[in-house]
A = this chain, B = another copy of it.
Amino acid sequence: LRLILLGFGNVGQGLGELLLEKRREINRALGLRLDVVAVVDSKGYALFESGLDLSEVLHAKRSFGTVAKHQKWGSTELDAIEVIENFDADIIVEMTPTNIIDGEPGMSFIKSAFRTSKHVVSTNKGPFALDYKGVINEAYEKGLNIKFSGTVGGATPMIDFAKKCVVANDIIGVEGILNGTTNYILTKMHVEGQRFEDALVDAQKMGIAEADPSYDIEGIDAACKLTIIANSIMNRYVTVHDVETRGIGGVTPAQILDAKNRGMAIKLICEIGEKISVGPKEVPLNSPLCVHGTLNVIKYSTELASDFFLVGAGAGGKETATAVLRDIIDIAYKIGEIKV
């Protein structure tokens, strides 16, 4: 399979490393050859139609800040859309940052992939949080595959679990903790009695919260993920704007202590029931839903087998890259590149 990678930040570079480590093993075990023909970042691209040497591309990115400066393969001649449309590839791996205003540039990249009959793997929440149905329908109409495991739960296969492991048993409700940054902050406040502001600074020092942490803190990142789960697992055709969203900025040490004294913790809980909502909520400390630190969790309530809880790290570049690789292999099965 020929891949074009769009976006070469944490996840993209993680995927580069992962392919370097695992490509030979995948070839041996599954008979699947994976070649990266182009890597596009915000400043240009590296292109080699016989397949890039990823260690060189990673080196160029780390040395010069862009793959475009690779001496043999780097270029700024074409823009990303032209790279997608002018070269032969099977799968476009779309890993640009989430933008919940208009989903760009990811949305245009995905449409451009479809226009030229390329399958898509994406880790970008924007297009799905804003127009899940439109994106999926377009793939369906063209007979193309689109997978987006990495948009939710980092490496933790929350969507695949629901689709592949819950069969002949309807999922009737979802609850979860889908943002590691806020969970880290709330854990700090719970365990150490810190104020929100101090726990946030602490998280920023640890590299867990970004310099502008508003998407996380205000619950928007969690709401995007919940939108994707609501659409893909529960057939609820909503956008992020339909999610009733409250952040954790108003949570006080006094509230947390009060909950703690009653055997509870305050968590940023995502919930799909009659309403779809994200907000701080008390959870019993002895519930499997009450995970700590940067962990994420999803609870699927089922018609016939009570509740399943799936817990794992919710982020990380290389971890999320494992979700991307899973999706690539899944598409390879579906299009017959791997024999069952």
Contacts and interface: CB of A to CB of B under 8 A. Distances in A.
A319 interface: yes
Interface string A21-53: 010011000000000000000000000000000
A116 to B, nearest CB: 25
A35 B326 CA distance: 36
B329 A167 contact: yes
A73 interface: no
A254 interface: no
Nearest to A291: B288
Contacts of A322: 168-169, 302, 304-305
Contacts of A166: 157
Nearest to A18: B304
Contacts of A156: 305, 308
Copies of this chain held together in the complex: 2
Contact of A167 (B154, B311, B325, B340): B325
Interface in A309-328: 309-313, 316, 318-319, 322, 325-326
Contacts of A291: 288
Interface residues of A toward B: which range? 35 or more
A22 B310 CA distance: 26
| Interface secondary structure of A, over-half rule | mixed
A155 interface: yes
Contacts of A164: 160, 164-165
A161 interface: yes
A290 to B, nearest CB: 8
Contact of A165 (B160, B302, B307): B160
A326 B305 CA distance: 12
A306 B311 contact: no
Of listed A155, A313, A329, residue having the most chain B CB within 10 A: A155
A295 interface: yes
* Shortest Cβ-Cβ A-B pairs, 9 listed: A155-B305, A309-B311, A157-B165, A288-B311, A164-B164, A308-B312, A167-B326, A305-B319, A168-B325
